[in-house]
Amino acid sequence: MKIKNDDKDFGLIARGFHWTSALIVLALLSLGFYMAGLEYSPFKLQLYFWHKSFGILVLMLVVLRFGWRIYSEAPEPLNSHEKWEKVLSNIVHVLLYLGLILMPLSGWLMSSAGDFPASFFGLFDMPDVVSKDEALFTFLRKVHTLAAYALIVAVGLHALGAIKHHLIDKDETLTRMGGHTIIIPAALILLAIPAYLAGKHIVADLLLKEHEHEEEQVEEQHAHEEPEAIIIIKPPSDDLLQGASGNTPQSVSKYNSGEIPYWSIVPSESHIKFEATQYAEAFEGRFEEFSGDIYFDPNNLEQSRADITIDIASIKTGSDDRDVQAKGSEWFDTTKFTSAFFQARSFERVDSGKAEANRFIAKGYLTIRGKTIPVTLPFTLDFESAGDDSEMAVMEGTLSLNRLDFGIGQGEWKSTDTIGNAVKIMISVRAGKAIATSE
Ligand code: HEM
């Protein structure tokens, strides 16, 4: 068979573009509607990954196909076609091309506006073409859905036309695109994909039901027992911290005397953000509510200490689905573990050899999901005069940790294929020096 098109027939390359795109687009349409309705899970994220990768492939194929069409002209429509058939088929072809461009473009832009990863089979990430914008994300999501419906209509008309020409008119419209040889394997593959997905869904459903049944039985067994009281709403005491590392934490008594200056956090000018990865692409989140007691004297680091409490339910991850998931029992479990705590119990100045000498290390304990781990937080600290006799301090620090050390991500989320283990915490605190009050 010829590679290029001629006056009568489509060549191998044009046929390849046509049937590969058709197969992928039909699979993407069914996969799209299926995955969008799933509960948030690693399986859903995996499907999003494949959907996006194949969607980007469609965009590449469309560009190449245009190029090939210019290089190797398509054969003329058959003379046997009525005029109205030629007009309708031209309109449908334009709609198909528009759909093939609009679908991947809206998907890519939607991911970019939502600050979600759009990877091409893990080989490279599509560039972020727009900055994060919630309203634009919602709009593009609607465009993606509406374009999908329009594409279904166009594909339907296109297929009906081809079938009419083949079965009723008995002309070469379908055969010159190689449709007669490709249609059976294509139909089989197309049936296999939804069948596989449905099968996986049914199996997952059955496993879930079995799991729920087991849980119900356990609940029934425990129904008459006292509920476990493991609600953590207080930070671990200094005695417990001592147990966590073997170091001797500072005694609390001297901090109410005013001997060590008390710094009051300005929440509107402070933040606690984090960076994690989904399919190896970074996404940023933050905790909107936190408070702290900071007793800090750069000339008395021995006696300085800080206690920061973070309201875990105030987590924002840039996606409503992800926020709900993050608060759930497999992640932070906010109904049990309402807060996380950072308790700095010793500070050291880092001698950087520079005149500013604004680099410090805080050694302390981080408690998340009820688990306390000793951590070291390097940070910079700069002081500014705030007029009158008051002073402001700006602290910036970054902490790297592994989510699994704290048990964040249980069950299927323990796998780090979808959400990575490493998490970077970025802390920026602006605080004003105040007179310490005794309780
Ligand atoms: C020809 C290519 C594509 C087709 C035919 C297609 C089709 C679809 C369909 C039918 C849906 C379901 C819409 C709904 O539930 O309302 C969907 C959802 C989605 N698509 Fe695509 N898509 C394509 C390309 C892309 C690309 C390139 C991306 C991203 C890079 C993408 C990202 C998404 C996302 C994130 C969703 C889920 C939206 C949600 O959760 O509501 N799609 N797609």
DSSP codes of every residue in 195-228: HHHHHHHHHHHHHHHHHHHHHHHHHHHHTTSPPP
* CA 241/CA 344 separation, integer angstroms: 11
Can you give the residue range of the structural domain that contains 55?
12-211
Are both 412 and 296 inside the same structural domain? yes
Ligand 1 mutation target, pool 28, 40, 106, most atoms within 8 A of CB: 28
> Residue whose CA is closest, atom 13 of ligand 1?
145
Are both 30 and 85 inside the same structural domain? yes
Structure-token pair, residue 416: 């780090």
How far is the centre of ligand 1, averaged over its atoms, from the C-alpha of 22 (Å)?
16
Residue 63 lies in a domain: yes
pLDDT of residue 196: 75
Report which of 94, 91, 132 is spatially closest to residue 112, judged by C-alpha positions.
132
How far is the centre of ligand 1, averaged over its atoms, from the C-alpha of 37 (Å)?
12
- Please report, for the domain that includes residue 95, its CATH number: 1.20.950
Ligand 1 pocket check for 117: Cβ under 6 Å: no
pLDDT of residue 6: 86
* CA 391/CA 5 separation, integer angstroms: 78
* CA 173/CA 161 separation, integer angstroms: 9
Structure-token pair, residue 245: 């590392």
Are both 306 and 373 inside the same structural domain? yes
Ligand 1 pocket check for 28: Cβ under 6 Å: yes
* CA 302/CA 295 separation, integer angstroms: 11
Residue 184 lies in a domain: yes
Are both 156 and 290 inside the same structural domain? no
Ligand 1 pocket check for 322: Cβ under 6 Å: no
CA angle 355, 292, 317 (to 5 degrees): 95
Are both 242 and 206 inside the same structural domain? no
Are both 308 and 429 inside the same structural domain? yes
Report which of 205, 320, 211, 276 is spatially closest to residue 418, judged by C-alpha positions.
276
- In whole angstroms, how far apart are CA 240 and each of 83, 337, 343? 86, 17, 12
> Residue whose CA is closest, atom 8 of ligand 1?
32
pLDDT of residue 388: 67
Residue 225 lies in a domain: no
Are both 378 and 289 inside the same structural domain? yes
For the chain, how many helices (H) and strands (E)?
7, 13
Residue 300 lies in a domain: yes
Residue 6 lies in a domain: no
Residue 220 lies in a domain: no
Ligand 1 pocket check for 152: Cβ under 6 Å: no
Q: What is the pTM of this model?
A: 0.73
How far is the centre of ligand 1, averaged over its atoms, from the C-alpha of 113 (Å)?
14
Ligand 1 pocket check for 52: Cβ under 6 Å: yes
How far is the centre of ligand 1, averaged over its atoms, from the C-alpha of 204 (Å)?
23
Are both 412 and 268 inside the same structural domain? yes
Ligand 1 pocket check for 114: Cβ under 6 Å: no
Domain boundary among 194, 211, 228: 211
* CA 436/CA 439 separation, integer angstroms: 10
Are both 206 and 284 inside the same structural domain? no
Overall number of domains in the chain: 2
Are both 125 and 36 inside the same structural domain? yes
Residue 221 lies in a domain: no
Ligand 1 mutation target, pool 39, 45, 51, 100, most atoms within 8 A of CB: 51
How far is the centre of ligand 1, averaged over its atoms, from the C-alpha of 322 (Å)?
18
Per-residue pLDDT in tens (0 to 9) along the chain, 439 residues: 789 988 888 989 999 999 999 999 999 999 999 999 898 888 999 999 999 999 999 999 999 999 999 999 888 878 888 889 989 999 999 999 999 999 999 999 999 999 888 999 989 999 999 998 989 999 999 999 999 999 999 999 999 998 888 889 888 888 888 766 666 666 667 667 667 766 766 676 666 666 666 666 766 765 665 545 555 567 777 766 665 544 444 445 556 666 788 999 999 999 999 999 988 788 899 999 999 989 999 888 988 999 999 999 999 998 888 899 999 999 999 999 999 999 999 899 987 666 567 899 999 999 999 999 999 999 999 988 776 677 899 999 999 999 999 999 999 899 898 899 999 999 999 999 865 444 4
> Residue whose CA is closest, atom 15 of ligand 1?
33
pLDDT of residue 8: 84
Where are the alpha helices (H) located in 114-178, listed in sequence order?
A: 134-163
Domain boundary among 211, 229, 262: 211
Ligand 1 pocket check for 150: Cβ under 6 Å: no
- Please report, for the domain that includes residue 289, its CATH number: 2.40.128.110
Residue 376 lies in a domain: yes
Query: Within 13 Å and on the Cβ side, how many CA atoms surround 197?
Result: 21
Are both 270 and 126 inside the same structural domain? no
Domain boundary among 144, 176, 211: 211
Ligand 1 pocket check for 148: Cβ under 6 Å: yes
How far is the centre of ligand 1, averaged over its atoms, from the C-alpha of 51 (Å)?
7
- Judged by phi (left if over 0) then psi (alpha if -120 to 50, else beta), residue 131 lies in beta
Report which of 101, 73, 103 is spatially closest to residue 7, judged by C-alpha positions.
73
pLDDT of residue 204: 65
Are both 82 and 152 inside the same structural domain? yes
Ligand 1 pocket check for 21: Cβ under 6 Å: no
Ligand 1 pocket check for 141: Cβ under 6 Å: yes
Ligand 1 mutation target, pool 112, 121, 144, most atoms within 8 A of CB: 144
How far is the centre of ligand 1, averaged over its atoms, from the C-alpha of 200 (Å)?
20
Ligand 1 pocket check for 121: Cβ under 6 Å: no
Helix (H) / strand (E) containing 19 = helix 12-36
